[in-house]
Structure 1
């Protein structure tokens, strides 16, 4: 299993990194549109859609993202979409985690499809807009989520005692969450120092937050973003548990599905864009 995970991860990096660093916008847009369409297909399948409807949902989602790009909605500035996603993830995420997996299927299937469509669409729009700011900014947001996940895993393994959400994800602990937050703060300090030393193509998320809000504001913002990455992970786990599925699909051998890899990114990207636009 580990070998399979590593091979899949290497293949993904070989595909994604050249597109990310390409001077043209279309390679990165094309790859991420394919990924968001696949994530849409997975979401629909997890929420009572048949095969044909799930495929149509994924195609429609990718088309909506492409239409937003064609309309000029992909840009580095402020957008109402960021703040709408901010509110929905904070309020809706808290409510979903409070009621648990048993309440999710009680929502009409159409409502679940609309919520997933909105979450995936705004996340893709924020991802594409982050790319227009610069590769350094884009990578800093991606690495925030990865650092939080890795530090939470090892911190939870070493110190985990109190379960975070036993009914949704039994493996997660509060100690893991705090370890993830600490890992993100360490990463931010190192990245800010690197920004000052190297002067990359764009400021990182961490440098922008420091410039806008000072040290205390930076720490609070990063703690909040780390917490929201956990919320994204837990919400996807809740949906899978309600559907009786272990993984969102088998598209990525050793990793599950696309949603399993991007769940924590869904709230983080639009919220990061919202904070950066202040």
Structure 2
């Protein structure tokens, strides 16, 4: 199992960095589109009653829409030709999804309500959340480049790794026992601190997410923003755990051997990406 997990992780990293370093933006946009389509399919599997006759059709239509959107964004002039698209995405979709993550998903996770109802609303939010994260990642890559995106992803990786090891070493108080019994407040604090330290450290390297924030904000405010993003990455992880417990499954799918599904790998990124975009809009 561990060997399979390591092989899959290495393969995923190779594909990701190959897309990031490839000439032109289309390889990464294509990769993000495929990943978003898979994650959305998995989200709908967790939230939409499988017996419902419309479930397969809805999932198929959502995947087609994402692939069509990806094809459109591969043309870098598309946002300039259709400025209304960016207005809708950046002024309506991304802020709305960000607010739901902060004010809605966070509350549900803290309450540990694994019996939360409203499959239709969870499905709608899933579509909007994946679209917002996808659009945010594409725009940040196009505007700021590969290193910027890697430094943002590293914030999430730092939070996840630090939360795991801090929780193992010092964890005593359960964070959300009805959602994810293994997570503790101590681990969450370690993850938040690690994300903050990473952003402050990477701010010394030109072109990073932290460097862009430091050019426009005082250091203390950058630290607060980094801590907030680290906390939101944990919320995203816990929210997926809630959906899986609600559906009675261990993984979102079996698409990634040893890792479960694509959504299992992207759960922390979904709330972080749109809010990171909001923090950096207008910054060049």
TM-score by length of 2: 0.87
How much has 1:85 moved relative to structure 2?
Answer: 2.2
**Is 1:43 the counterpart of 2:43 in the alignment?**
yes
Counterpart of 2:186 in structure 1 is 175
SS at match of 2:8: helix
Number of equivalent positions? 267
Q: Which of the residues 262, 270, 274 maps onto 2:274?
A: 270
Counterpart of 1:19 in structure 2 is 19
Whether the 8 Å CA contact 1:40–1:61 is kept in 2: the answer is no
Whether the 8 Å CA contact 2:233–2:272 is kept in 1: the answer is yes
- Range moving further from structure 2, 18-27 or 117-126: 18-27
Counterpart of 1:143 in structure 2 is 154
Counterpart of 1:126 in structure 2 is 136
How much has 1:64 moved relative to structure 2?
Answer: 5.7
Q: Which of the residues 82, 100, 106 maps onto 1:88?
A: 100
Whether the 8 Å CA contact 2:259–2:265 is kept in 1: the answer is yes
SS at match of 1:193: coil
How much has 1:18 moved relative to structure 2?
Answer: 1.1
How much has 1:143 moved relative to structure 2?
Answer: 0.5
Counterpart of 2:122 in structure 1 is 112
2: distance between equivalents of 1:61 and 1:174? 39
- CA offsets, 1:5-46, max 9 Å, x none? 110011111212111112211111111111111111111111
- What RMSD over aligned residues (CA atoms) do the two structures have, in Å? 2.1
Counterpart of 1:32 in structure 2 is 32
- Range moving further from structure 2, 149-158 or 62-71: 62-71
- Range moving further from structure 2, 95-104 or 244-253: 95-104
Whether the 8 Å CA contact 1:101–1:239 is kept in 2: the answer is no
SS at match of 2:204: helix
1: distance between equivalents of 2:273 and 2:187? 22
SS at match of 1:79: helix
- CA offsets, 1:44-80, max 9 Å, x none? 11122457336415523523632762642797xx921
Counterpart of 1:257 in structure 2 is 261
2: distance between equivalents of 1:257 and 1:5? 12
How much has 1:185 moved relative to structure 2?
Answer: 2.5
How much has 1:152 moved relative to structure 2?
Answer: 0.5
1: distance between equivalents of 2:235 and 2:13? 25
2: distance between equivalents of 1:100 and 1:172? 12
How much has 1:101 moved relative to structure 2?
Answer: 3.8
2: distance between equivalents of 1:53 and 1:164? 37
Structure 2 residue runs without a partner (length 5+): none
Whether the 8 Å CA contact 1:39–1:58 is kept in 2: the answer is no
2: distance between equivalents of 1:243 and 1:118? 20
